[in-house]
Structure 1
C-alpha cells in the first residue's frame, strides 16, 4: 500500500506538470490530480475532497478567502495603471532617458517599477507588450530576449527579494511568522541586486551573441507594432504616473518608519497596520487606485466600471493559485510527503540550506511560488523556527527560495507569458529559465551564505 501511495503521489505530480504544459485549465488539472493522489494513497475520499482540498488549512477556498482582498486590490490598481496609460508613461520616460536601443534594460526596469509598486505580473506583461514590440523593432532584438527581460523585471527580485513589496509572496510569511513586509531587509537587498545584476549580464550577453549571429526581431503573426507617436497619445506625464506607485510603497513603509522614530507608540492606526499584514497593503493599493483615478482623466470617466473589471481580472489568477494549493494540501496528507518532511528537516545540512531545498522542491512540484510558500509555511516553518532560525531570516530566505524552481516549464505564469508573446517553450524558455530559475537559485544560495556568515 505504501509503494502504491508513492507511485500515486509521483503520478499525480507528473500528471499536473503534463497537463499544465498542454495548457489544460489548471483548476481542472489540480482537482483531477488531487483525485489521483487521494485514491492511490487510500485517503478518506469525501473528507479529502470536500474538506482538505477545499477548506482545510491548505484548502483552496481557505487560501482564496484569506488573500482575496489583496489579489483584488492589486488587480484593480493594475487595471487603472494600464487603462490610464500610466504604465506606458513610465516606460516611455525610460525610453527617452536611456534610448530605444537599450530595450532590454527599459523592459526590466519598467517591469520592476510596476511590480514593486503593486501592479500584478499579468497586467505588467499586457501593458509592456505593445511598447516592447516597438522597442524590439527599433533595436532589432529577438523576441525571445524580450521574454527573458519581462520575466526578470516582473517575476524575480521585486516579488520575493526586495523588502516592502506588496506581492503575495512577501505577505504569506507574515501570517505565520509575525514579521512585516520589510523582514530581512539587508538579505533582500543583497539577493535582489544579485538577481538583477546576473540576469542583465546574461541577457546583454545573449543580445550581443544574437547580433553577431545576424539574429534580429521577427514579429509574431498577430503582432501589431504601433509607432511611438501612437503610443504617446493620451499618456500622462511620467512624474504624475509614478505618484500612485510611490504612494503604495510609502503607505506600506509608514508604520515601520513611525515605529523607528518612536512616533508610533500608542497610535491606533500604526498598531492596526502592524497587525494586518494582508489588509494593510490592500488598503495601500486601494488608496493608490483612488489617487490614480483622481489624477488620470482616461479612467476618471467610468471609474466604477474600471475597478469592476479589475476585480474580475483577479478571479482567475486567485482561483488558479488556490487550486494548486488545494492540491498541495492533499499531497501534504500523504505518507510520502511526511517522509519527505522528515528527510529534509532531519538532514545533516545546515537549517538554512535544508529549508532552501524544501521550499524549492515544494514550489517546483506545484509550479507556483506562492503555492509552494503557503505549503511550506503551513507544514515546515515550525521545525526550522525550533532549530533557531530567526523569523525575519526565515521569511526572506524562504520567500526567495520559493521563486526559483517554481518557474519550471509547467509554471502557469510562464505558459501565460509565452502565450501572450506568441512564442513556444522551444523558442523562448531557455532565456526565461535562466533568469527565473538559475539566477534566483544562485542568488538565493549566495544570500544564504551571507546569512550564515553574519
Structure 2
C-alpha cells in the first residue's frame, strides 16, 4: 500500500515541479528518491544503477541516442542559420494568405518536422514570424500554439512513416523494424490527427471572433518579433527545400531500391550499403541529417562563412533536449523496479482486452507517468513490448501503434514540450492548455483508437500464437 501511494506521490510531485519550472533533472531525481524510499528500494542502487545506468537508466538512453539528437540538432541549426526554414515559412504564408493563418502554422511545422528539423527549433523559428500573422489576422495566441502543435507535435512525430523522429527510431531499434513500419496505418492515423486538429482550431477561431477575442500583444512578443530579422533577405524557397529532400531521400531511397528487386544474393557494395541502411535505424537517419546539414553548407553562402560555429552551436543545442528526455527515463527506470509497476504490467497483460487495445493502454499510461512520448515509448519497448510480440502482434504494427499511443497522454500539463511551447509564446496553462489538450491528447487518442478499430475490423496485425 505504501509503495503504491509512493508511486502516486512521486508522479504528482513530478507534475507539480515540472509545471513550476523546476529543472527536470532535479525534479526527476527528487521524485525517483520518493518512489525508492516508499517502495523499499536501496538508495545506493537507485542513485548509481536504476536511475543513471540500468537498462532504462538516464545515461543508458542518452548514450544510445546521442548521435541522433546531435545530428538532428545540427541540421536544425543549419536550417535556422541559413534562413532556409524561414524561407519555407514565408513562401507558404504568402501562398495561403493571412485568412489561413492557422493552416499556415500547421503546414509549415509539419513540413519542417517531417523533413528532420527538431520540434523546438521549429517552434522557435515559427513564432517570431507568427506574431505578424496573428496581429494581422487578430488571432488569439492560444490557437496559434494549438495549430503549430498539430503540425509539430502529433502526426509527424509518431504516425508518418519514414521520418527520422526519435519515436520512429526507438521503435525501429527495439523491434528490428525499419522507419517505414506500419506505414499505411500511420497514414490513416495522421489524416485523423491533422484533419480533426485543424477542424478544432478553425472552429475555435470562429468562436473567438464571435466572442470578440483576438490577438493580445505583450513585451515578449515584441522581443521575439525582432528575431525574425529582415524578411526579404532569405534564400529561395525552392533551394531551401533541397536539404530536407536530401534527408528524406537518403532515408527513403534504400527502401525504394530494395522494393524493386532482390539484393539478398548480391555481394556488391550497393547491396552491402542497402543492408546497412536497413540494419542501422539510428546511424542511417543520423547520416541523412548530416548530409542535409552539409547540403546547407554547399547551397547557402552564409553557412560556409561560419560552418564550425553553426555545427558547434547545434551540438550544444542537442544537449538539453537529450538530457531532459533522459531525466524522465531515469525516473521511469526507478518506477519499473517497483512492485507496483510489476503489478500494473501483469494486470494489463492479463486483462481481457484485445492485444492492440492492451498496447494502447500500457503505452499511454507509461507516457503519461513520465510526461514524455519518447521516454514512455522507450520504457514500453524495454519492459512490455516482448510480451506483446509473444501474443502474436506483428512487429511492424506494434512499432506504429505503440508510437502513436505514446503521443497521446504524454502531453499532460507536466510535458516538457508543452511547458517549453508556452514559455516561448508567453502563455500560461490557464490560458492555453485546454486547446493544447484537445489537439495533442484527445485527438491523438481518438486517432490511435480508430487505427486499432480499423486493424481489428480488417483482421490484420495480430497472428495468434500456435
Range class of TM-score, shorter chain: over 0.9
5 Å-filtered alignment, 1:23-38, equals 23-38=21-36
Cα offset for 1:220?
2.0
5 Å-filtered alignment, 1:21-420, equals 21-224=19-222, 231-262=230-261, 264-265=263-264, 266=266, 267-420=271-424
**CA deviations over 1:83-131 (Å, ceiling 9, x no partner):** 1111111111111211122111000000000000111110001100111
Higher mean C-alpha deviation, range 263-272 or range 32-41:
263-272
Q: Secondary structure of the residue that 2:219 maps to in structure 1?
A: coil
Q: In structure 2, how many angstroms separate the alpha carbons of the residues matched to 1:231 and 1:347?
A: 59
Q: In structure 1, how many angstroms separate the alpha carbons of the residues matched to 2:262 and 2:119?
A: 35
2:444 aligned to which of 420, 440, 446: 440
Q: In structure 2, how many angstroms separate the alpha carbons of the residues matched to 1:364 and 1:230?
A: 39
Q: Cα–Cα, structure 1 residues 6 and 229, in superposed 2: closer, same or farther, change >3 Å?
A: closer
Contact kept? 1:370, 1:402, Cα under 8 Å: yes
Q: In structure 2, how many angstroms separate the alpha carbons of the residues matched to 1:122 and 1:227?
A: 18
Q: Secondary structure of the residue that 2:184 maps to in structure 1?
A: helix
**CA deviations over 1:199-236 (Å, ceiling 9, x no partner):** 00001000111111111111122212759995423211
Q: In structure 2, how many angstroms separate the alpha carbons of the residues matched to 1:125 and 1:367?
A: 19
Q: Cα–Cα, structure 1 residues 329 and 147, in superposed 2: closer, same or farther, change >3 Å?
A: same
Contact kept? 2:160, 2:183, Cα under 8 Å: yes
Scaled by the length of structure 2, the TM-score of the pair is 0.95
Q: In structure 2, how many angstroms separate the alpha carbons of the residues matched to 1:244 and 1:347?
A: 47
Contact kept? 1:353, 1:448, Cα under 8 Å: yes
Q: Cα–Cα, structure 1 residues 264 and 289, in superposed 2: closer, same or farther, change >3 Å?
A: farther
Cα offset for 1:44?
2.1
Cα offset for 1:439?
0.7
Q: Secondary structure of the residue that 2:88 maps to in structure 1?
A: helix
Cα offset for 1:46?
1.1
Return 5+ residue gaps in structure 1 as ranges: none
Contact kept? 2:128, 2:227, Cα under 8 Å: no
Q: Cα–Cα, structure 1 residues 187 and 316, in superposed 2: closer, same or farther, change >3 Å?
A: same
Contact kept? 1:131, 1:231, Cα under 8 Å: no
Q: In structure 2, how many angstroms separate the alpha carbons of the residues matched to 1:173 and 1:37?
A: 27
Cα offset for 1:367?
0.3
Contact kept? 1:73, 1:286, Cα under 8 Å: yes
Q: In structure 1, how many angstroms separate the alpha carbons of the residues matched to 2:253 and 2:305?
A: 31
Cα offset for 1:53?
1.0
Contact kept? 2:129, 2:228, Cα under 8 Å: no
Q: In structure 2, how many angstroms separate the alpha carbons of the residues matched to 1:71 and 1:240?
A: 25
**CA deviations over 1:351-375 (Å, ceiling 9, x no partner):** 1001100000000010000000000
Q: In structure 1, how many angstroms separate the alpha carbons of the residues matched to 2:11 and 2:133?
A: 40
RMSD of the TM alignment (CA)?
1.4
Q: In structure 2, how many angstroms separate the alpha carbons of the residues matched to 1:263 and 1:349?
A: 40
Question: How many residue pairs were aligned?
Answer: 452
Cα offset for 1:258?
1.4
Scaled by the length of structure 1, the TM-score of the pair is 0.98
Q: In structure 1, how many angstroms separate the alpha carbons of the residues matched to 2:226 and 2:135?
A: 10
Contact kept? 2:128, 2:228, Cα under 8 Å: no
